[in-house]
Amino acid sequence: MTENEIREAAGAIGVPLDSQQAGALMRFRDLLVEANRRFNLTALNDDASILALHFLDSLTAVRVIRAIQAERGTTLDLIDVGTGGGFPGLPLKIALPELRVTLMDSTAKKVQFCNEVIRALGLHEIRAIQDRAEEAGHRPEHREQYDVVIARAVAPMPTLAEYLLPLARVGGTCIAMKGSDAPAEAARAAGAIARLGGALSAVEPVSLPGRDERRALILISKVQPTPQPYPRRGGAPRKSPLK
């Protein structure tokens, strides 16, 4: 993987990157591979998979976030729920440096790695915190505080809606990065989304260069405050999804 290859691939999905941004992704790749030797951070270790299934997949949300920025005319606060090794939040911060980003994960080693990457790349207005969505959704510093709440491959959509919507401020947007079953997932979650103060805005298909699998972004608008009991604690969103 070279800087030119990164820039060419990102350009193919409509995300122009300069040499500094491509270099930051290269350094991120190096840190990711090194960390994976110490603990199980990701199953993807080869350059082609990291580029397509981590970096480019994360960057498919750039167009939507840019549109929200243009509409709002202000700097956005974004939280990445269940960030793992920093996806999609870190590539989004690199591509959109003006974003204020919070990376959240329940696993200490993953949060530590994200903070290592933040320091190594000299990124500003970004933090990594250890927390669970069921708990963070009730904390005043997080509840309904974010313009964009995003997650990738965290949970089925009814459960994911309960994780994401309590964190979004009214007027904000939740982005669920999903696979080929996204339209059906969105339909199954319609009741949960409405109960949590959301409204389905769109299911937007996205594609990755050279990959056949279908992907989509489920976009949910936060139209009214989430009722206080949600998110339910103790693993209830996963054990007993809303309908």
pLDDT value at residue 153: 76
156, 142, 164, 157: which is closest to 231 by C-alpha? 164
What is the mean pLDDT of the segment spanning 20-34? 94
What is the mean pLDDT of the segment spanning 170-199? 96
What is the mean pLDDT of the segment spanning 159-187? 96
- Beta bridge mates, 10: none
Proportion of the chain above pLDDT 90, given as a percent: 85
Per-residue model confidence as pLDDT tens digits over 69-105: 999 999 999 999 999 999 999 999 999 999 999 999 9
Using the predicted structure, report yes or no on whether residue 44 has a pLDDT greater than 70: no
Where does the pLDDT of residue 192 fall: very low under 50, low under 70, confident under 90, or very high at 90 and above?
Answer: very high
CATH H-level superfamily of 60-239: Vaccinia Virus protein VP39 (3.40.50.150)
CB-based burial label for 59 (10 Å; 0-12, 13-18, 19+): buried
Where does the pLDDT of residue 122 fall: very low under 50, low under 70, confident under 90, or very high at 90 and above?
Answer: very high
Using the predicted structure, report yes or no on whether residue 205 has a pLDDT greater than 70: yes
Proportion of the chain above pLDDT 70, given as a percent: 99
Distance CA 172, CA 177 (A): 16
pLDDT value at residue 43: 67
Per-residue model confidence as pLDDT tens digits over 58-67: 999 999 999 9
pLDDT value at residue 204: 96
Distance CA 134, CA 53 (A): 27
Domain regions of the chain by residue span: 60-239
